[in-house]
Structure 1
């Protein structure tokens, strides 16, 4: 059966294997985008909670 997520490995992103993968990736992307944004805009990190 082919992967339902082409180009993505859900096992690599499992929080038990790489607990800080998403946090590190989002922080890196924010730091990379910030210098490229025009003056009134900024790259921010929001938080979401799933219940």
Structure 2
């Protein structure tokens, strides 16, 4: 397990997660629907609707 990224956002929303995951997919050049990749979050509450 290696920490590979972190971000500071105004609120933890679906929109901010989509932005963050989109950047990971692009930067790590993930293909095939992410087969073989696992991401773990420390998210503890539900997402705020945006």
Pairwise TM-score range, normalised by the shorter structure? 0.3 to 0.5
Larger Rg computed on CA atoms = 1
Q: Higher relative contact order by CA 8 Å / sep ≥ 6: 1 or 2?
A: 2
TM-score in terms of structure 1 length: 0.33
Give TM-score, length-normalised by structure 2.
0.34
